Amino acid sequence: MNNIAKPIIIVGTGRSGSTIFHQIFTTHPSVTWLSTLCHRYPNKPNWNRFLLYALENPIVSLYLRKKFVPFEAYPFWDRLYQGFSEPFRDLLSTDVTKKSKEKILKNMACLLTRKRPRLLLKITGWPRIGFIDEVFEGVKFIHVVRDGRAVVNSMLEVPWWSGWRGPQNWRWGALTKEHMVLWRKSGQCFAVLAAIEWLMLMDAMEKAKQKIEKERFTEIHYEALCSDPVGIFKKVIEFCELEWNPRFEKELFSFEMRNTNDKWAKNLSKAQQRNIEAVMQPYLSKYGYV
């Protein structure tokens, strides 16, 4: 059943640039990826495989690429493991059941094609690294990191951010006493709550990655990706043990990379900026943002 060799998993907090990174990566001719077909028809993984076969035809590939874009496809994941998409905490190795492992391996294997033997998946929010590593063998993890202040600003601009309902009703579990003090001290500022969410997810990432061998985990910065996409992807392709392909390099240049990190400084008030920086300071410093 398990003919999935060294799957590649992109992880990040969300709003971190992982989507554009994933979209570019899916143009590599050796990788299999989930599309909107898996999102809309989670019980029909074969349809996604047929799509990947069809992409080999240059006449229809451009149309199909626009119609069926790369997707995280959480309905597909939830069909394989109920609750995968929105757990209140990170998913760990101890959450994997024998049945769920068999279902995941069987359905993911169905997606692979002869020309696309490497499985490429994107997962955001909780890292779920322990869970994924328990299911698959030899996983290569790529963590996409972005300035947390830009992530917070982006969270506040999307309609699906669950923080508007307050921490008692959001999807990330109860706040610690320390986090609750920070939020109340800010006057229940939503920017601060978004900063706390980022902090919680980064804490989970730091904890999870400690259990993965260094040769199977790498990090890239969104800002570096924007400034030098070719250089970053050459390192990523080498890390993933794939071949640098002229077709892939040509596709890479078709994507417009634009660093929009300056928006947070324009959109957030000075008070909000000070408050979120106080919350996120440890990781802003660790990753070189302050």
Indicate whether 18 pLDDT > 90: yes
Task: Give the pLDDT confidence score for residue 186 in this predicted structure.
Answer: 96
**At 3, is the pLDDT very low, low, confident or very high (cuts 50, 70, 90)?**
confident
Determine the average pLDDT of the residues in 99-127: 97
d(CA 4, CA 142): 17
Determine the average pLDDT of the residues in 153-157: 98
Task: Give the pLDDT confidence score for residue 59 in this predicted structure.
Answer: 94
Tell me the whole-structure pTM to 2 decimals. Answer: 0.97
25 CB burial (10 A radius; 0-12, 13-18, 19+): buried
Indicate whether 1 pLDDT > 50: no
213 CB burial (10 A radius; 0-12, 13-18, 19+): exposed
47 CB burial (10 A radius; 0-12, 13-18, 19+): middle
Runs of H (alpha helix) within the chain: 18-25, 36-40, 45-54, 58-67, 74-80, 98-109, 129-135, 148-155, 177-185, 190-209, 222-227, 229-239, 246-252, 263-267, 270-286
Percentage of the chain beyond pLDDT 70 is 99
Classify 226 as helix, strand or coil: helix
Note whether 273 and 156 are within 8 A (CB).
no
Angle between helix 270-286 and helix 190-209 axes, rounded to 10 deg: 10
Determine the average pLDDT of the residues in 106-118: 97
Structure tokens at 290: 């302050």
**Tens of pLDDT, residues 190-236:** 999 999 999 999 999 999 999 999 999 999 999 999 999 999 999 99
**Tens of pLDDT, residues 55-91:** 999 999 999 999 999 999 999 999 999 999 999 999 9
Indicate whether 102 pLDDT > 70: yes
Percentage of the chain beyond pLDDT 90 is 99
Residues 6+ apart with CB under 8 A from 230: 249, 252
Residues 6+ apart with CB under 8 A from 271: none
Q: Where are the domains of the chain?
A: 8-286
**Tens of pLDDT, residues 255-273:** 999 999 999 999 999 999 9
Q: For the chain, what is the mean pLDDT?
A: 97
User: Which fold would CATH assign to domain 8-286?
Assistant: Rossmann fold (3.40.50)
Determine the average pLDDT of the residues in 143-170: 97
Note whether 140 and 240 are within 8 A (CB).
yes
Determine the average pLDDT of the residues in 81-110: 98
Note whether 130 and 207 are within 8 A (CB).
no
DSSP β-bridge partners for residue 219: 143
